[in-house]
Structure 1
Amino acid sequence: MSYGQSSHSNGPWQSQPAAGSPPYPSAPPHALAPRKAQESQHPGWLARSLFWAALIIGMLPVLVLTPLATTGGTSAVVLFSLGSIICACLRLVLGTAAILLVKNTSWARRLIGAGIFFLGCAALLILTPLTGILLTSVGTEDGSSLLTMNIIQGVLNAFFLATVFCGWSIARNRRWWILVIAVVIGAILAVLNMTVAKPLAENATTGVMIVVLVQAVWLALIFASLGLFHLLARANGRTAPAPAQPAY
């Protein structure tokens, strides 16, 4: 009899708490806090993928069409020019849309970040050809004209990188000093591109392949900088609190 009672007491019907008794303890709330905090800072894979695609598409003409433009004739140069304009426009549209689609942030940060990114892309798209046209119309010497063009292009690249880094970081609720680091890194990358990459590409015998290689490294450094900002933001206190989401 005692054996039967013991078997019954250990049956499946005893797995639930009796009426009036407290429920089984659940996982403490602080155990789920790190995961919720990580999810609250994620921009969404759609926004992140669009932003990455915008940066890659903007560099495609230099990486793909440069050999054709240098070895081909006039048609290849026209193709390179049209491809550069189309890819720059796609970068502007996709990057702006990506920042507007960032999750876990306020619309004010989205609009400010998208506006900064739009301004940088538009300046690079419009002022780069205008600079060449103005220098050609002025009719300066070849050496001084090339130096002036390199300086102006370096300033435009620094401004463009600063707007790319800051626009994305503002939408990601990052602290102000990360924005300062972003501006400094953008200026450093632009100076390296102007002082090291371009002279190397002009003086090398295989100049075309050097240009492609240098721009590929430059694109890799841009993504590495974005990764650095991400690591800095994940440290404690480096990200501003995300705005409260309305309950539905």
Structure 2
Amino acid sequence: MVTSIAAARGGPARAGAALRAELGELMADGARRLCDHPYYQGLRDGTLPGAALLHFTLQDSCHLLPGYGRAQARCSVLARDDRQAAVLSRMATGALDDCTARLAGLHATAERLGLELPLPAGEEKPPIAPTTLGYVSFLGNATAGSLGAAIGAVLPSAWLYMLVTDDLLERHDPGARYAAEVVKAHPGEFYRGMLADFLDLAEQVADTSSAAEQRELVRNAGHAVRYEWAFVDAAWRQEGWPF
């Protein structure tokens, strides 16, 4: 009986490569769907309603990014060696530090565009929206199990962020309303290097995982890609609770 991708493909060194290729196809499809979404189309050409941009950034900075950073920190606890722990800890620290930076940038953006932040009286954060709550809860649950399941849950956000911001930078209208925000959102080459380390780590995890854990990694990655799209769509719709 074949017990792992490695056995099926001729040795442990090929399990991670096969999984990375499978995930690459999943991310390419997810990135295409995201870049075709009206939210990102509007960000590129300047037609995005300001309220949608505020919804996205507040939900991301106040709720999703902190949840993601904590999920990455839990991954570092599950790491199988010190190098894995270091890579995952850097990802966690970067996400958590980014929360403060993005909120500070949002205030400057809102002032430049003449937008009022939709915050409850006396509050610094908006209530967590339904889709955001679902995504954060998924990240928490997925990172409470095996390392493979945890990596599958957190990898898509990092990978798609690079793919989508690359596309935004390449195709946006430099004279449009949100051109400055598009340029500022791109994480740069340092982040691309961090992502490369993260992808290498995912391959290594696959090489040393059971077939069941490999399947769980891919399954969670699929869930996370759909949550990424749903989060963007919720911002486009300016989603809130019915009561």
| Shared fold per TM-score greater than 0.5 | no
Q: Which of the pair has more CA radius of gyration? A: 1
